[in-house]
Structure 1
Amino acid sequence: MLSQEFVSAAAIAASVLFILSLGGLSNQEKAKRAVWYGIVGMAVAILSTALGPRIGGFGWLIPMALIGAAVGVWLARKVEMTEMPQLVAALHSFVGLAAVFIGWNADMERTRVAAIKATGVSFDGLSAFATTLAHKTPAELTFLQVEVVLGLFIGAVTFTGSVVAFGKLAGKIGGKPHKLAGGHWLNGGAALLALILAIAYFNGAGFWTLFLIAALAFFIGWHLIMGIGGADMPVVVSMLNSYSGWAAAAIGFTLSNDLLIVTGALVGSSGAILSYIMCKAMNRNFVSVILGGFGTTQSEAAEIEGEQVAIDTGGVASALNDAENVIIVPGYGMAVAQAQNAVSDLVRKLRSAGKNVRFGIHPVAGRLPGHMNVLLAEARVPYDIVMEMDEINDDFAETDVVIVIGSNDIVNPAAQEDPGSPIAGMPVLKVWEAKQVFVCKRGQGTGYSGIENPLFFKENTRMLYGDARASIDALVPMID
Structure 2
Amino acid sequence: MTTFIAVLYIISFALFIYGLMGLTGPRTAVRGNWIAAVGMGIAVIATLLTPGMSNWLLIALGVAIGVVVGVPSARKVKMTAMPQMVALFNGVGGGAVALIAWVEFRTTEGYAHEPAYVAIASLFAAIVGSVSFWGSNIAFGKLQELISGRPITLGKLQQPVNALVLIAAIVFAVVIATGGSAELLMIGLLVAAGILGVVVVLPIGGADMPVVISLLNALTGLSAAAMGLALDNTALIVAGMIVGASGSILTNLMAKAMNRSIPAIVAGGFGGGTTVASGGSGEVRPVRSTSASDTAIQMAYANKVVVVPGYGMAVAQAQHVVREMAKLLEAKGITVAYAIHPVAGRMPGHMNVLLAEADVPYEQLKEMDEINSEFAQTDVALVIGANDVTNPAAETDPGSPIYGMPILKVNHSRSVIVLKRSMSSGFAGIDNELFYDAKTSMLFGDAKSSVGEIVEELKAL
Q: What is the TM-score when the length of structure 2 is the normalising length? A: 0.94
- How far 1:365 moved relative to its partner? 0.7
- 1:222 aligns with 198
- 1:62 aligns with 60
- 2:131 aligns with 157
- How far 1:290 moved relative to its partner? 3.0
Which string of whole-angstrom CA distances, capped at 9 and with x for unpartnered residues, describes residues 274-321 of structure 1?
111111000111222234459xxx9x9945762122111001001011
Q: Does 1:269 align with 2:245?
A: yes
Could you tell me whether the CA contact under 8 Å between 1:153 and 1:217 is conserved in 2? yes
- How far 1:476 moved relative to its partner? 1.1
Paired with 1:478 and 1:293, the residues of 2 have a C-alpha distance of 43
Q: Does 1:186 align with 2:161?
A: yes
Q: Does 1:431 align with 2:429?
A: no
Q: Secondary structure at the match of 1:444?
A: coil
Paired with 1:476 and 1:51, the residues of 2 have a C-alpha distance of 58
Paired with 1:409 and 1:402, the residues of 2 have a C-alpha distance of 16
The one of 381, 393, 396 aligned to 1:402: 381
- 1:386 aligns with 365
- How far 1:403 moved relative to its partner? 0.5
- 1:118 aligns with none
Paired with 2:110 and 2:249, the residues of 1 have a C-alpha distance of 40
Could you tell me whether the CA contact under 8 Å between 2:394 and 2:400 is conserved in 1? yes
- 1:135 aligns with none
- How far 1:244 moved relative to its partner? 0.7
Which string of whole-angstrom CA distances, capped at 9 and with x for unpartnered residues, describes residues 23-47 of structure 1?
2212223222211211211211222
Paired with 2:223 and 2:40, the residues of 1 have a C-alpha distance of 18
Paired with 1:227 and 1:112, the residues of 2 have a C-alpha distance of 35
One-letter amino acid matched to 2:151 = P
Could you tell me whether the CA contact under 8 Å between 2:123 and 2:173 is conserved in 1? yes
Q: Does 1:14 align with 2:29?
A: no
CA RMSD, Structure 1 to Structure 2 (Å): 1.8
Could you tell me whether the CA contact under 8 Å between 1:14 and 1:44 is conserved in 2? yes
Paired with 1:291 and 1:251, the residues of 2 have a C-alpha distance of 27
- How far 1:458 moved relative to its partner? 1.0
- 2:122 aligns with 148
Q: Does 1:285 align with 2:285?
A: no
Paired with 2:205 and 2:449, the residues of 1 have a C-alpha distance of 32
- 1:236 aligns with 212
Paired with 1:112 and 1:453, the residues of 2 have a C-alpha distance of 56
Alignment of 1:43-442 (within 5 A): 43-111=41-109, 138=113, 140-181=114-155, 182-205=157-180, 206-293=182-269, 302=280, 306-442=285-421
- 1:462 aligns with 441
- How far 1:53 moved relative to its partner? 2.3
Paired with 1:72 and 1:293, the residues of 2 have a C-alpha distance of 32
Paired with 1:306 and 1:435, the residues of 2 have a C-alpha distance of 21
In structure 2, the gaps of 5 or more residues are none
Paired with 1:77 and 1:31, the residues of 2 have a C-alpha distance of 17
Which string of whole-angstrom CA distances, capped at 9 and with x for unpartnered residues, describes residues 224-253 of structure 1?
001112111111011011011011111211
Paired with 2:260 and 2:150, the residues of 1 have a C-alpha distance of 16
- 1:123 aligns with none
Change (3 A) 1:313 1:211: same
Paired with 1:264 and 1:42, the residues of 2 have a C-alpha distance of 12
Paired with 1:113 and 1:202, the residues of 2 have a C-alpha distance of 8
Paired with 1:302 and 1:245, the residues of 2 have a C-alpha distance of 44
- How far 1:141 moved relative to its partner? 2.7
- 1:130 aligns with none
Paired with 1:163 and 1:433, the residues of 2 have a C-alpha distance of 40
Could you tell me whether the CA contact under 8 Å between 2:111 and 2:119 is conserved in 1? no
Which string of whole-angstrom CA distances, capped at 9 and with x for unpartnered residues, describes residues 448-475 of structure 1?
2211101111111111111111111111
Paired with 2:341 and 2:312, the residues of 1 have a C-alpha distance of 14
Could you tell me whether the CA contact under 8 Å between 1:239 and 1:290 is conserved in 2? no
Paired with 2:456 and 2:69, the residues of 1 have a C-alpha distance of 42
Q: Secondary structure at the match of 1:251?
A: helix
Could you tell me whether the CA contact under 8 Å between 1:175 and 1:449 is conserved in 2? no
Q: Secondary structure at the match of 2:148?
A: coil
Q: Secondary structure at the match of 2:419?
A: strand
In structure 1, the gaps of 5 or more residues are 115-137
- How far 1:414 moved relative to its partner? 0.7
Q: Secondary structure at the match of 2:345?
A: helix
Paired with 2:452 and 2:340, the residues of 1 have a C-alpha distance of 22
- How far 1:58 moved relative to its partner? 1.6
Could you tell me whether the CA contact under 8 Å between 1:411 and 1:431 is conserved in 2? yes
Could you tell me whether the CA contact under 8 Å between 1:95 and 1:247 is conserved in 2? no
- How far 1:175 moved relative to its partner? 1.8
Paired with 1:230 and 1:293, the residues of 2 have a C-alpha distance of 9
Could you tell me whether the CA contact under 8 Å between 1:360 and 1:429 is conserved in 2? yes
- How far 1:170 moved relative to its partner? 1.3
Could you tell me whether the CA contact under 8 Å between 2:305 and 2:336 is conserved in 1? yes
One-letter amino acid matched to 1:27 = G
Paired with 2:365 and 2:209, the residues of 1 have a C-alpha distance of 24
Could you tell me whether the CA contact under 8 Å between 2:390 and 2:408 is conserved in 1? yes
Alignment of 1:441-456 (within 5 A): 441-456=420-435
- How far 1:166 moved relative to its partner? 0.7
